[in-house]
Structure 1
Amino acid sequence: MLTDTVCAAASAAGLAVAFVTAYRKRFLAATRIAAYALLPVGLAMTGILDWIADLVFKPSVWLGFGVLGLSWLLFMVTRAVERRGGGTRKERRAAAAAERGGAQAPALGAGGGVRGSRGAAKSGGSSGTDDFSDIEAILKKHGI
């Protein structure tokens, strides 16, 4: 009952300010002020203010928020552990299977750089030069 009276008084004051603003020929601002002024009365009429008052003053609601916070904290801890440990168990198994399956990165030649790889490709294979020909074309195009 008291909240309804306070909301009605706040809305009346807001509408008075809107009327004065409209009298000064600032109709857009007056309309916006009137919209804000009608919000407290609308909230009081729908009963949302009583729900908010119950939400704020009941200890069981605060305990519920504490449980939700604990749940969120547990989710964040498990995510941090997954990131640090290399993912979930399923992801670690897939990575281990890929390593055993021979899907490793190719090792560099004796020179340890691009020249060592090029020398190994020229002497032994055919596909190695195809890979570097694209790169060489791009570098030549840029004058490097």
Structure 2
Amino acid sequence: MIAETVCSAVSAAGLGIAAVTAYRKRFLSAARIAAYSLVPVGLVMTGVVGWAADTAFSPTAWAGFVVLGGAWLLFTGTRAVERRRGGGGTRKERKAARDSTQADAVAPAASAPSLGPAKRPATRPAAAPRAQSGDDFSDIEAILKKHGI
């Protein structure tokens, strides 16, 4: 009973705010506020508020939520262990499956590449000569000295 009264009061206050907003010529905002303020009354009329209030104060409902939470924990725990082990089934079944996939390989005895020996590519143009390593560090040293490091 009190939940329905609170929802009705919230809706009445929202409709009052919508009326003030419409008076200020902000009709789009007023329509949006009116829509939001009608939601609690609609929930009361459909019986959702009564059901939620009965559920919130019911020890049986809370026990049901606890049971559902326990079931969820068991489910996720077993899935995590299964993933850590590497799939379902017994250890023998997993080993047999792994051995059968290795035996069914396309070319298990092939060890040499099928394209033949590699050829050297054509000569590359000469790369630009590298600067001496002292030149590279001199720039860094200058920057560090500039900052007093």
Asked whether the two chains share a fold, i.e. TM above 0.5, the reply is: yes
Q: For residue 18 of structure 1, what is the amino acid of its counterpart?
A: A
Q: Is the counterpart of residue 96 in structure 1 residue 99 in structure 2?
A: yes
Matched with 2:33 is 33
Matched with 2:115 is 129
Distance in 1 between residues matched to 2:44 and 2:22, nearest whole Å: 26
Distance in 2 between residues matched to 1:75 and 1:88, nearest whole Å: 14
Give 5+ residue unaligned stretches, structure 2: 123-149
The alignment partner of 1:89 has SS state of coil
- Give 1:4 deviation, angstroms: 2.4
TM-score in terms of structure 1 length: 0.68
Q: Is the counterpart of residue 58 in structure 1 residue 58 in structure 2?
A: yes
Poorly superposed stretches of 4+, deviation over 4 Å: 104-109
Distance in 1 between residues matched to 2:106 and 2:66, nearest whole Å: 48
The alignment partner of 2:105 has SS state of coil
The alignment partner of 1:25 has SS state of coil
Matched with 1:117 is none
Flag the structure with more relative contact order, 1 or 2, with Cα contacts below 8 A and sequence separation at least 6.
Answer: 2
Matched with 1:77 is 77
Residue deviations 1:80-114 (CA, integer Å, cap 9, x gap): 11111110118724223223x253986896xxxxx
Larger helix proportion, structure 1 or 2? 1
Q: Structure 1's 105 and 84: CA in aligned 2 closer, same or farther, altered over 3 A?
A: farther
Q: Structure 1's 37 and 85: CA in aligned 2 closer, same or farther, altered over 3 A?
A: same
Q: Structure 1's 97 and 32: CA in aligned 2 closer, same or farther, altered over 3 A?
A: same
The alignment partner of 1:8 has SS state of helix
Indicate the RMSD between aligned Cα atoms, in angstroms.
3.1
Percent identity between the two aligned chains: 56
